[in-house]
């Protein structure tokens, strides 16, 4: 990888972490993260590379979700969160809990308001 590519990935990693830490709501849908990153001229490929590296480093957790609604086919339902080192050994459990909170709220709202048929 060239030094420019390394720099781009490093910038993308910083941007991903910044987006995930920018609101009090810690977990965010990847569609939200991607939209924020586009404003910083960071594309999908760079975002995915940054996520892969951040997950390998243990800085971020991304969980894929599924909803059997045909209207959601092909929609990115992944939810991501940065780990909070202040939580110590419970950081991963706290992060997964944040992801579950965001997913369960969204799914409840979606199912309450969406009507197939």
Give 48-105 pLDDT, tens digit per residue: 999 999 999 999 999 999 888 888 888 999 999 999 888 888 999 999 999 999 999 9
Q: Which DSSP state fits 117?
A: -
Position 31 pLDDT exceeds 60: yes
8-21 pLDDT, tens digit per residue, is 889 999 999 999 99
Gap between the Cα atoms of 95 and 101, Å rounded: 10
- Provide the pLDDT for residue 108: 92
Strand partners, 60: 82
Q: Which DSSP state fits 34?
A: H
What is the pTM for the complete model shown?
0.87
- CB contact at 8 A, 99 and 87: no
If one looks up domain 3-113 in CATH, what number appears? 1.10.10
């Amino acid at each position: 990888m060239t030094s420019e590519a390394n720099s781009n990935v490093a910038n993308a990693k910083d941007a991903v972490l910044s987006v995930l830490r920018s609101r009090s709501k810690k977990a965010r849908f990847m569609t939200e993260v991607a939209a924020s990153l586009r404003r910083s001229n960071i594309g999908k490929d760079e975002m995915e590379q940054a996520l892969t590296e951040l997950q390998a480093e243990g800085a971020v957790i991304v969980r894929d979700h599924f909803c059997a609604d045909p209207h959601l086919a092909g929609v990115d339902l992944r939810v991501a969160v940065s780990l909070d080192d202040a939580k110590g050994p419970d950081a991963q459990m706290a992060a997964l809990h944040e992801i579950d909170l965001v997913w369960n709220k969204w799914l409840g709202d979606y199912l309450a308001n969406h009507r197939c048929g």
